[in-house]
Amino acid sequence: MLPKKSERFGKSSSELDNLFALSGQNEVISFAAGYPANELFPKKELDRAFKVRSTKVEASFYQYGEVLGYTPLRKKIVNYANNCLKINCAVENIMLTQGAQQGINLLAEYFLDVGDGIVVEAPSYIGALEAFEAKAPAFYEVPVREDGMDMDVLEETLMQHDVKLIYTIPNFQNPTGYCMSLAKRKQLVNLAQKYGVLVVEDDPYRELRFSGESLPTIKSFDTEGNVVTLGSFSKILSPALRTGWMIGDKNLIKALSNVRLTQDCQPSNIVSEMIDEYLESNDLFEHIQDMNKFYSQRKNVMIKALQANLPSGCSVSNPEGGFFIWVTLPENIDSNVLLQSNAGVTFISSGALFVVSHEKNHMRLNFSGVSPTLIMQGCKQLCCTIEEAIKKIAVVA
């Protein structure tokens, strides 16, 4: 007989696990995943990066490294932060993480005790919600509008409740695809400073912009150290590298590195050196431009297919980048019922993405990992299912 698990793990199933399961089904068209397209991995260049670097280095290539990660790679992220993100930082401000997910988890672990207040966007990324949920916090939802979090609701929440942490995805938000406006970014920093709250800026899709203009990071307006920015190579290079980064106040990064030592000690130097060599021998931004053309096409195919086939009463987001399209159905349609009934196409139903209100009438559709032909086919099929569901409810009513 085993001892009881922590009460923080009340649920026996995991939405994130379900998501990966949905993503892996071959017999269906999967709009559920958040995977980059296999075709886009610069395999030749990454393979070469390993070979080049491994011939240059000593056996200590295979030894323990630093908890914050391989310094030359952290320096490259400093350059990127200074030049592209307009974040004034040094190597002490950077920690390499196992994907951005580890960054979220480290911050949750370090700041949250059971019952602590935290603000999340409604809807939000299921992986972050579950990382926070493992700390059994008090969740407060703030709706995401087309220009980002509703700042009035946010300030009201901060006035009424003790909140330690605000989690936001400012660019091509997962799952809505919305971007936070410039004004709201500044406002968010001001609110965070006024109420002494940490802002976790999760920004994995930033560079995947197909049109429109890039906005400065929230962190770039932060003068007091209230914002931590998370980035990742998963979407712009390869998720198998399991490498992201965290940019924050140097004292905070130091404290988090001590937490990280107890979690998995440090990142792999092998993979870090591969990335470092790739960045030295290739133009990542050129690669990203190619990706954006490719993804933009897929997004357009999906938007067209949805606009042509969605019954009236439904709406569709049209993001300028990222991986996802957000579909809102009539209020009386439960997207999870659709998902269960519709064997041929999978997607993410919205219930679990609204951590408090559990709004059910939305769907997150991924276009990055699906071919245009399958996107068209899947969207048609999905729209038929939606139409039938609406008719059925009309008859019942």
Q: Where does this chain touch a second copy (CB under 8 A) — which range of 174-182, 203-211, 232-240, 313-321? A: 232-240
Among 240, 343, 356, 394, binds a second copy (CB under 8 A): 240
Residue for token digits 């004292």?
251
Question: Per CB under 8 A, does 193 bind a second copy?
Answer: yes
Question: Per CB under 8 A, does 114 bind a second copy?
Answer: yes
Footprint of a second copy on residues 346-365 (CB under 8 A)? none
Question: Per CB under 8 A, does 290 bind a second copy?
Answer: no
Length of the chain: 397
Question: Per CB under 8 A, does 49 bind a second copy?
Answer: no
Query: Could you give the CA distance from residue 207 to residue 171 in angstroms, rounded to a whole number?
Result: 9
CB of 263 vs a second copy, minimal distance in Å = 5
18 versus 214: smaller Cβ distance to a second copy: 18
Q: Show the binding pattern over residues 291-310: x = contacts a second copy (CB under 8 A), - = does not.
A: --------------------
Question: Per CB under 8 A, does 110 bind a second copy?
Answer: yes
190 versus 214: smaller Cβ distance to a second copy: 190
Please count the residues of this chain forming the interface with a second copy, following the rule CB under 8 A: 87
**What pairing do the DSSP bridges indicate for beta strands 362-366 and 348-349?**
antiparallel
61 versus 285: smaller Cβ distance to a second copy: 61
CA distances from 32 to 19, 175, 326, 349 (A): 7, 11, 12, 9
> Is the sign of the CA dihedral 222, 225, 228, 233 positive or negative?
positive
Footprint of a second copy on residues 127-166 (CB under 8 A)? 127, 130-131, 133-134, 164-165
* Token digits of residue 278: 């790739």
Query: Could you give the CA distance from residue 133 to residue 139 in angstroms, rounded to a whole number?
Result: 9
Footprint of a second copy on residues 257-276 (CB under 8 A)? 257-259, 261-271, 274
Residue 127, beta-bridge partner list: none
Among 31, 81, 85, 98, binds a second copy (CB under 8 A): 98
Among 27, 58, 283, 286, binds a second copy (CB under 8 A): 58
Question: Per CB under 8 A, does 242 bind a second copy?
Answer: yes
Count helices and strands in the chain by DSSP H and E runs: 12, 14
Query: Could you give the CA distance from residue 365 to residue 346 in angstroms, rounded to a whole number?
Result: 9
Query: Could you give the CA distance from residue 379 to residue 390 in angstroms, rounded to a whole number?
Result: 16
Query: Could you give the CA distance from residue 284 to residue 278 in angstroms, rounded to a whole number?
Result: 8
* Token digits of residue 246: 């965290």
Q: Which residues contact 103 (CB under 8 A, 6 or more apart)?
A: 95, 97, 200, 202, 228, 230, 244, 245, 246
CB of 145 vs a second copy, minimal distance in Å = 26
Q: Where does this chain touch a second copy (CB under 8 A) — which range of 50-58, 287-295, 307-315, 372-380? A: 50-58
CB of 331 vs a second copy, minimal distance in Å = 31
